[in-house]
Structure 1
Amino acid sequence: MKPYPFDPSIKHHLLISLGLALWIFIFLYATEPLDVNEFSDADKLVYLPLYGLLGAVCYIICLPVHHLLLLKKTRWTLAHEIQFTAIFLVVAFVIARAFYLYVVVAGEPNPYSLTYYATSIFFPTVFTVFPIVFLGRWAFGKYKNKRLEAQKIEIKGEGTYEGLRIAWDDLILIQSSD
């Protein structure tokens, strides 16, 4: 399977989680799902940033799983990315549902059913919000791959297939045959 662009830098994943938190807040504030229109402006500024932070925390919680998947294999592939995404979405669903039940509508007699919450609220939100995670992960991975490719040295040979392109870390010895 073809390698998928991957950047293991924790700093870059923290930036992705920050972007995710901001995007979730903006999305929820602008579209007002979850009966947000019933909240006062002060309540919106309390609950909606917390949803954004929960999204970021869910992403950060999943990063150790991410690194465990990477340790098992030497290359990161699209299948690994799909596994990570599935784990992230399950964790996010459980935590977002718990936050909805125990914080947002605590004590309310009729919260949304699990099926309605999943099909009408969570998954449409995921389809709108998740591209930020996907694009951020892909872009940081591409950037890292380009940086690694730029650091390689090229030793040209006389024929068409006699050239060598190698990373500095892989180079042991260069000796002229003259």
Structure 2
Amino acid sequence: MMSPLQLNTSYKYHALVAFGISLWLVIFLVVIAPFDAADLSFRIRLQILPFYGVISFLCYMLLVPLQNWIFKKKGKWTIVLEILFVVLYNLIALFGCFAYYQSDVINGDYPFEKFTFEVYYPIFFILLSILIFARWFLNRKVRGLPTGQLIIKGDNKLDVLKICPTDLVCVSSADNYVEVCFLKENRAQRKLLRTTLKNVQAQVPDLVRVHRSHLINPIHFKEWKGTNTIALTQMEVPVSKNYKEAILDVVLRP
């Protein structure tokens, strides 16, 4: 099974990443002046080349809503999805930059193939390391469940459940037991443990209480179903009015 990655879904932090990448690109193009840019005066470079940074910023931010939607839909983020994000960003930025290169402002004379392999990709591969590091650093800051294997223990020695943290959907009280709902091979599974919700929350403090009988993993939040119920991955749970503010703060945070 592919290990999940943490993902920061904050638009503010992704805007900082996009701005940092764009700023580096502008400085590189204007100051270093690679390729034919060296033939232009510094004043002209400063007038026309920063728009490549604007294109880079817009292309990155355009993908953030799609990234967050996929993350909420699947309930996890993987290395494959991370690679797809980078590839898609690369393609959108390529076409955006080439369109500007062919515009009346730049009036470039390279055909698409020559621009792609002799101008765009040499710069992009330098930019790629910055992009990967920035996203890695950003995602380390996400508040969420620990990575690795999650172990939930009941009162009895044999009451032990080992799962991937992102597979945990919710935990519900059931008399003297708790019912742990989790995903296994993308299908909902349930296991009873003889313990209390209080003990489970102590073991997994990032679970969010939405009802006196229910704790949820916020990454599995899908949507509100009316005013007192929320849909999670493959299940629904009630929400008490006493906990609405808490869930709004956590699962609907940008």
What displacement does 1:114 show? 1.3
**Equivalent residues of 1:65, 1:84 under 8 A apart:** no
Q: Could you report, residue by residue, the CA deviation over 1:38-68 in whole angstroms, capped at 9, with x for unpaired residues?
A: 2122111112221111111111112122123
What displacement does 1:170 show? 4.4
Return the letter of the residue paired with 1:135. F
What displacement does 1:26 show? 1.5
**Equivalent residues of 1:5, 1:76 under 8 A apart:** yes
Aligned positions of 1:1-178 closer than 5 A: 1-106=2-107, 111-145=109-143, 149=146, 165-170=203-208
**Equivalent residues of 2:6, 2:139 under 8 A apart:** yes
Give the fraction of aligned pairs with identical amino acids, expressed as a percent: 25
**Equivalent residues of 1:5, 1:138 under 8 A apart:** no
* CA–CA separation in structure 2 for the residues paired with 1:104 and 1:55: 17
Distance 1:76 1:103, change over 3 A: farther
Higher relative strand content: 2
Could you list the runs of 5+ residues in structure 1 that have no partner in the other structure?
A: 174-178
Q: Could you report, residue by residue, the CA deviation over 1:119-170 in whole angstroms, capped at 9, with x for unpaired residues?
A: 111111111112222211111111215x755xxxx99x897x9896212534
**TM-score under structure 2 normalisation?**
0.57
The answer to which structure, 1 or 2, has the higher relative contact order (CA under 8 A, 6+ apart) is: 1
Return the letter of the residue paired with 2:5. Y
Structure 2 counterpart SS, 1:167? coil
Q: Could you report, residue by residue, the CA deviation over 1:21-50 in whole angstroms, capped at 9, with x for unpaired residues?
A: 111012212432341112122111112221
Alignment partner, residue 176 of structure 1: none
Distance 1:103 1:72, change over 3 A: farther
* CA–CA separation in structure 2 for the residues paired with 1:80 and 1:148: 19
Number of equivalent positions: 165
Alignment partner, residue 241 of structure 2: none
Distance 1:158 1:60, change over 3 A: same
* CA–CA separation in structure 2 for the residues paired with 1:140 and 1:85: 15
Distance 1:20 1:103, change over 3 A: farther
**Equivalent residues of 2:48, 2:106 under 8 A apart:** no
What value does the CA root-mean-square deviation take over the aligned residues? 2.7
Which structure would you say has the larger Rg? 2
